[in-house]
Structure 1
Amino acid sequence: MLREYQLTNFKAFAGPETIPIRPITLIYGPNSSGKSSVLQSLLLLKQTLQEAENPETLLLPKGNLVNLGGYREFIHRHDVSKSFSFKVVFDVGKQGKPNPLENLLREKLIQAPLLGLQVAFSYDKQTSNVVFSSVELFLEDESYPVVIYKPEKQEVLEIERAGSREIILKVDNINYDYNFWKAWFDIYGSKIAKNALAEVNSHLKQKNSRASQLQSKKKKEQLEKLEKEITELIQLKKRFDNYKFKEAIEDFSKAYQHPFIICRNFLPVTSDGLLVEKLPDPEIRYLFQDHRRHWLPDVLGVTLQACSMFRRFLESLIYIGPLRDYPERLYILSGNSSQQVGKSGKMVSDILFRNPELLKQVNEQLERFGLEYELKVASYTNKETSELSDVFALRLVDKYTHVNVSLLDVGFGISQVLPIIVQSMLSRNTTLLIEQPEIHIHPRLQAELGSLLAECIKPPLNNQFIIETHSEHLMLRLQKLIRKGELKPEDVSVIYVDRGAEGSKCLHLRLDEEGDFIDEWPGGFFEEDFNEIFQ
């Protein structure tokens, strides 16, 4: 589950602006404050992975999900000398899937199952291209990275592999102040040094025996070479006999001089690994000899798993825009088996046609919303063949009069809220981005949306919502559910985006156990009713 999102130099945000993400995240703020930019930045990343035909494309700002122009348009204050970056932090303990930190957790090398990834970009004015600045890996809740990858000499290094050009980044820095390095050494350092020492002693014994044979045969040249090797082994014996964390750090550094990671778009996808034969230093080879599994905490592997996790997150991310499609009297089955209603909700009809059980669940929600209609799918038959055609309609049956009407013949609000209800009930373990769900919806229905969200973040759905909204009624319902104990304060994150001279800021407004705000709302928001009545 996404736990935190950070933006730097994106549109109105100078940043770094950190946004705590919870099962329900509501983003408020005045018009043009920049609140939509949070969602747009995620759509930019999803769009790049989804639509970029060239794996060398780092960012694709113009596409079907969002049109941001180019780097100059979306970078803060149009200053192309600035670097754009994003950071994501996942709570991998709540993934419900294989945990990339499982080994490090099991071995108690880290305390909290938080995994972070930050990717930074810059702009090359000579080529007019976006280039990598860095990729950084974070563990636990530390604010500094455990490892940093950068292009060699601050340029993107491209290699030829299987006829295609690939972007590669090399390890630039490893932060050995991270607690888990010392924790690893405390658990495994003495054992590995002991086994390496035994290996050295065995080789030393063999070489001493061989030296005696050469000496007796008076083979001076071979003996000199062997004695040099024996001297090296004696030095290693002294090193491993008194192996400390300082020496371990030196060996870490030597081992990590060579690996690089290969990228597709803005995410690493594989690496060359750490192979013994690539390591020239004899002490490293001895340490690796029989204990590769325990020798190094696999930060390369965890980096790639973090990237894979983020890639899956973006691929499954679902976006519902602020303007949903106008309903139609008749629909033609498209043949598309998508499980997403789409940006404008246009696939709602197909999904309901194919999924009678979902239709039943949606009708249950409509009843909870207090809408006195039952939604039905009306299929049409071909008169000539007596077979069902691909033409069908979505109809509403009035529960009082039993009159059967088209969605077009009732209030516009039902057609606007329907895609949100359908997608929320259809999705499993998915993050939904929704802009202005309250458009064309009565205040009472806006409040009922809060109950829908509260239901859909729980098992078996386990969804997560990031919503840009102006609705006070939605917020009031969530506060009520917290007060009644049906939600916890930590289930909801309320963000207020406010714009100032230094750019937009994200204020986190906390809730207590009673659903009341611990932090005050900025002046002027939600005060319109009071001002109209009393001023």
Structure 2
Amino acid sequence: MLKELRIQNFKGWKDTGTIRLAPISLFFGANSSGKSSIGQFLIMLKQTVESPDRKAVFYPGGKSSAVQLGSYQEMVFHRDPKNKIAFDYRWSLMESLKFKDLLSDKTFSGNELDFSAEIELSDARKNLLQVAEFQYRLLDNNMQSLSINFSRKSNKNEYTVLAEQYKLVRKKMRVWALKDVVRFYGFPDEVVAYYQNAEFVQSLNFAHEKLFSSIYYLGPLRTKAERLYTWSGIAPESVGFAGENTIAAILAARDRKISLGYRRPAKQFEEIIALKFKEMGLIEEFRVSPISKQRQDYEVKVRTKGSGDWVDLPDVGFGISQVLPVLVQCFYAPAGSIILMEQPEIHLHPSAQSALADVIIEVINSRENGNDRNIQVVIETHSEHFLRRLQRRIAEDAISQKEVSVYFANNSKTPATLEPLQIDVFGNIKNWPENFFGDEMGDIAEHAKAALKKRMQQNT
């Protein structure tokens, strides 16, 4: 689970400041305020980690990628190539990282990692990116166990390794320069060959890759519903960033059972999806059925409230097909997942938007095979109703305010700022931004004035 994030000199952000990330993290703001850029940055890093090119510092994406950010000049703050993109994030490990220094016989361990890096354009090779430096800090219950830094020498395409609380011992052989970096985060194999006791850096590389393999993204533009879906029997990694694998995910998860909280009964995966639809007031029943035993084609049928007829998914409201990938991804993701979503409430009426907040609370409390799923959900949204329901549930003690983190992207001044909203134990927001959801009181006052003026005119 991501605990903290800070991004500097990326797109519209000079500096986001340190962002506290909770099991439920929300980002609000006007259009083009920069709130989407935060998720895009994480997805770009995920694309880079999964890129086959180990020497590509960043992979900004291609035609089939979740995000396509263009060149460095297009993504760096103020499009100034002299700026360095810097970032820092901290995450908790599903399993503690533990290793022994064979030379000193000392054991090092930690349950969190903190990573920071600076990326810049190369002076010698224009338009090529290079890592200025990166650093890992291994933390055990907030106490640093060790720190190791990989930084570029001034005016050279060579790197040095410096460690704190850990003594690296060089092998007795001819000294050579360390020149390579694995993407934006990785120690090259030469570091292990260079030192007698540097094998642990491979564990740091792997922990980083494991973090980004746990991140799943669902964008705001989901695929439209179809009348038939083909499934070959393969379980997809996720529903896809446009929801294109949603039905395949449902079919692949039919044998899974999910509990919506401690001591709550586990239910079949498809039953959970149908139940959430009903509780949100969208449909009464939902099912996915094969066309025939001889074919790999499936149809999705739903029964709406007050109707006895089953109809195809494309024949009901558009909002149902748009929220289906949201529900499926939330319960399909494996334990320890971080789910990034943009506007999950899109095309839903206010009541359903409020109910969706309750679903997300159940997602972070859900269990499978007797264990907590430890799901983190990071949402970019415009929904006042979603937030209001979370505030209510905090006041009702259905969720702790510590489990919710809310930020407002304020672009009313330059550079833009990311302002944390302070929520107390009663669900109140202490520092509500001006016109956060529009000027509601102003609209009410002006409406009353206009109505009074019209009545006076009618009476004369």
- Compute the TM-score of the two structures, normalised by the length of structure 2: 0.82
- What is the aligned counterpart of 2:407 among 495, 506, 509? 495
Greater mean alpha carbon deviation, residues 335-344 or residues 133-142: 133-142
- Whether 1:476 aligns to 2:388 is yes
- Count of aligned pairs: 414
Q: Match for residue 130 of structure 2? A: 131
Q: Match for residue 149 of structure 1? A: 150
- Whether 1:446 aligns to 2:353 is yes
- What is the aligned counterpart of 1:410 among 293, 316, 320? 316
Conserved 8 A contact 2:400-2:425: yes
Conserved 8 A contact 2:8-2:85: yes
Secondary structure at 1:267 match in 2: coil
CA drift at 1:263? 3.5
> Equivalents in 2 of 1:8, 1:256: separation in Å?
37
- What is the aligned counterpart of 1:508 among 409, 420, 428? 420
Conserved 8 A contact 1:137-1:303: no
> Equivalents in 1 of 2:160, 2:135: separation in Å?
11
Q: Match for residue 320 of structure 1? A: 218
Conserved 8 A contact 1:434-1:467: yes
Q: Match for residue 46 of structure 1? A: 46
Secondary structure at 2:14 match in 1: coil
Secondary structure at 2:426 match in 1: coil
Given the superposition, is the C-alpha separation of residues 362 and 459 from structure 1 closer, same or farther in structure 2, using an over 3 Å criterion? closer
> Equivalents in 2 of 1:446, 1:102: separation in Å?
47
> Equivalents in 1 of 2:113, 2:296: separation in Å?
47
Conserved 8 A contact 1:318-1:433: yes
- What is the aligned counterpart of 1:485 among 387, 394, 397? 397
Q: Match for residue 185 of structure 2? A: 267
Identity among equivalent positions (%) equals: 27
> Equivalents in 2 of 1:363, 1:11: separation in Å?
40
CA drift at 1:440? 0.2
Secondary structure at 1:305 match in 2: helix
Larger Rg: 1
> Equivalents in 2 of 1:434, 1:53: separation in Å?
25
Q: Match for residue 389 of structure 1? A: 295
> Equivalents in 1 of 2:399, 2:155: separation in Å?
48
Greater mean alpha carbon deviation, residues 76-85 or residues 521-530: 521-530
Conserved 8 A contact 2:90-2:114: yes
> Equivalents in 2 of 1:457, 1:43: separation in Å?
21
> Equivalents in 1 of 2:129, 2:304: separation in Å?
56
Given the superposition, is the C-alpha separation of residues 528 and 410 from structure 1 closer, same or farther in structure 2, using an over 3 Å criterion? farther
Secondary structure at 1:100 match in 2: strand
> Equivalents in 1 of 2:203, 2:179: separation in Å?
12
Query: Would you tell me which structure has more helix in proportion to its own residues?
Result: 1
- What is the aligned counterpart of 1:355 among 242, 249, 253? 253
Greater mean alpha carbon deviation, residues 310-319 or residues 327-336: 327-336
Q: How does 1:460-475 map to 2 (within 5 A)?
A: 460=367, 461-475=373-387
Conserved 8 A contact 1:372-1:400: no
Residue by residue over 1:266-304, the C-alpha shift from the partner in whole angstroms, topping out at 9 and shown as x without a partner, is 2215555689x978xxxxxxxxxxxxxxxxxx8x56654
1:85 partner amino acid:
A
CA drift at 1:62? 2.4
Conserved 8 A contact 1:369-1:448: yes
Given the superposition, is the C-alpha separation of residues 513 and 138 from structure 1 closer, same or farther in structure 2, using an over 3 Å criterion? same
> Equivalents in 2 of 1:148, 1:376: separation in Å?
53
> Equivalents in 1 of 2:147, 2:211: separation in Å?
22
Residue by residue over 1:134-172, the C-alpha shift from the partner in whole angstroms, topping out at 9 and shown as x without a partner, is 0112354689x9432113445444xxxxxxxxxxx421x
Given the superposition, is the C-alpha separation of residues 437 and 103 from structure 1 closer, same or farther in structure 2, using an over 3 Å criterion? farther
Q: Match for residue 311 of structure 1? A: 209
CA drift at 1:499? 1.7
Conserved 8 A contact 1:117-1:307: no
CA drift at 1:262? 6.0
> Equivalents in 2 of 1:136, 1:457: separation in Å?
31
Structure 1 residues without counterparts, runs of 5 or longer: 158-168, 176-180, 185-251, 280-297, 382-386
Q: How does 1:71-470 map to 2 (within 5 A)?
A: 71-92=72-93, 95=94, 97=95, 99-100=96-97, 113-125=111-123, 126-140=125-139, 146-157=147-158, 169-171=159-161, 173-174=162-163, 181=165, 252=167, 263-269=181-187, 304-334=202-232, 336-356=234-254, 357-381=268-292, 387-398=293-304, 400-427=306-333, 428-460=335-367, 461-470=373-382
> Equivalents in 2 of 1:446, 1:154: separation in Å?
54
1:312 partner amino acid:
K
Secondary structure at 1:494 match in 2: strand
1:342 partner amino acid:
G
Conserved 8 A contact 1:115-1:139: yes
Query: Would you tell me which structure has more strand in proportion to its own residues?
Result: 2
Conserved 8 A contact 1:9-1:16: no
> Equivalents in 2 of 1:515, 1:84: separation in Å?
36
Secondary structure at 1:264 match in 2: coil
